[in-house]
Structure 1
Amino acid sequence: MVAHSFRGEVFGPAQRLHGATFVVDARFSRSELDSDNIVVDIGLATQKLGEVLAGFNYRNLDEVPEFAGINTSTEFLAKHIADLLAEAVHAGALGEGARGLAKIEVTLHESHVAWAGYERSL
């Protein structure tokens, strides 16, 4: 759950401060299963995703210094989350087996008819 506003006529009434509630999906992919026959340690992945989301859950994103001057669109947030998860993979926070991941995809669902995502290679 976040609050934010946008700049630019393309955003219409969303230029005013408003709230958004997202369901966040993170998808991890690789070309082959690791030696334990898994793609990633789902427990570590779930924990790290929770930590990433805790950084801006229940916050007004307009007041977060690292987002100053940025339209924190659904797409931007999906990319931001994917990038933070990628950093965690490279740092070993998802386990050594996660270093074999090929890509991460993050989707933010605003409703059953509106969602956006971002996919990145590792």
Structure 2
Amino acid sequence: MFTVTVRDHLMVAHSFRGDVFGPAQRLHGATFVVDATFRRPELDQDNIVIDIGLATRELGAVVAELNYRNLDEEPAFAGVNTSTEYLAQVIGDRLVERVDARARGLSGLTVTLSESHVAWASHDREL
């Protein structure tokens, strides 16, 4: 299996519903390092997994749609607890569409959002 990972960062505001979230039920900010790891079992005819420039550009475009936003005010997230895990899934879904992953022969994508050096969450999907 071959992989290529590209990185960006994301800053949002949001709040959660439910006692499990304690003080995070109030509006607060979150800053994430976002890693997107593209996978394929064999290299393509150019001996790459994905063009790193394309992957970087498209991850940046997905992140830009969310960056510096209060997610509580975004219609796409109405009534949703925008947990780190959930945001990893949203970013992955949007990224797969933007890079046309299946047409490029990719077999999987993992998106990891790191809140700090001790806490992160990922969403892994097969394509």
Paired residue for 1:7, among 9, 17, 20? 17
User: 1: distance between equivalents of 2:61 and 2:99?
Assistant: 14
What's the offset of the Cα at 1:89? Answer: 3.0
| Residue equivalent to 2:91 | 81
Q: How many residues align?
A: 117
| Residue equivalent to 1:42 | 52
| Residue equivalent to 2:8 | none
User: 1: distance between equivalents of 2:93 and 2:126?
Assistant: 10
| Residue equivalent to 1:100 | 105
User: 2: distance between equivalents of 1:57 and 1:86?
Assistant: 19
| Residue equivalent to 2:41 | 31
* Paired amino acid for 2:73: E
* Paired amino acid for 1:65: P
8 Å CA contact 2:58, 2:99 repeated in 1: no
For residue 66 of structure 2, give the secondary structure of its aligned residue in structure 1. Answer: coil
* Paired amino acid for 2:118: V
Q: Percent identity?
A: 71
Question: If each structure's strand is expressed as a fraction of its own residues, which one has the higher value?
Answer: 2
Question: If each structure's helix is expressed as a fraction of its own residues, which one has the higher value?
Answer: 1
User: 2: distance between equivalents of 1:85 and 1:114?
Assistant: 23
1:58 maps to 2:63: no
For residue 22 of structure 1, give the secondary structure of its aligned residue in structure 2. Answer: strand
The residue correspondences of 1:62-73 to structure 2 (distance < 5 A) are: 62-73=72-83
TM-score scaled by structure 2? 0.89
**Where does structure 2 lack aligned partners over 5 or more consecutive residues?**
1-10
